[in-house]
Amino acid sequence: MEIERKWLVEGLPSLGEPDRVFQMDQGYLSVRPTVRIRREALEGGATRLVLCIKGAGGLSRREVEMELTPVQFGELEEMVGKPLIPKTQWRYLLPGDLTLEVNQVDKGRPTAFWYAEVEFPTEEAALSWDPAAAGLGEYLSHEVTGQKGQSMGEYWETTRC
């Protein structure tokens, strides 16, 4: 189960150096339900190739991920048939064993944007978490959790289909 809140943001937060940085490329075989492939390259580390299937939902939804071989990823990328969405993701450790993931999407394109997410262990934890308590009140002021038109799948539909 994935339980997360999402915000539109401008640039990186004032939290110092991130814990990890990833270069990613992702594409969609379907957006209803979400069936996505993603290449996740950790700077200075390993690359994961992942197939992700997500159910419907806003704050929480079922999510299943499976590792792919390079051959499987290549075959699915061919099936996608459109340029994958490039993303850079910065991860910052937060109090309470939480992680802030800040994403820059489609850098250099007219549709480029930034968003941030925090995943939680329970819905109660998600609903009670206050960004201001982590020094992020101003940075995380434009929440879009569960809002229509704010998913990466919907972004895919408007920019790639």
Q: Which of 120, 157, 146 is nearest to 3 (CA)?
A: 120
pLDDT band at 107 (very low <50, low <70, confident <90, very high): very high
> Can you give the residue ranges of every domain in the chain?
2-160
Does 83 sit behind a cis peptide bond, omega within 30 degrees of 0 on the bond before it? no
* pLDDT computed for residue 149 by the predictor: 87
Nearest to 82 by CA among 106, 49, 115, 53: 106
Q: Indicate the pLDDT class of residue 146, thresholds 50, 70 and 90.
A: confident
* Residue tagged 């309470």 (tokens): 96
pLDDT reading at 161 higher than 90: no
Residue 91 burial by Cβ neighbours in a 10 Å radius (0-12, 13-18, 19+): middle
DSSP 72: H
Count the helix, strand and coil residues of the chain and give each as a percent rounded to the nearest 5.
20, 45, 40
**Architecture of domain 2-160 in this structure:** Beta Barrel (2.40)
Rounded Cα gap, residues 100 and 21, in angstroms: 12
Chain centroid offset of residue 63 CA: 13
Q: Report residue 137's pLDDT band, with 50, 70 and 90 as the boundaries.
A: very high
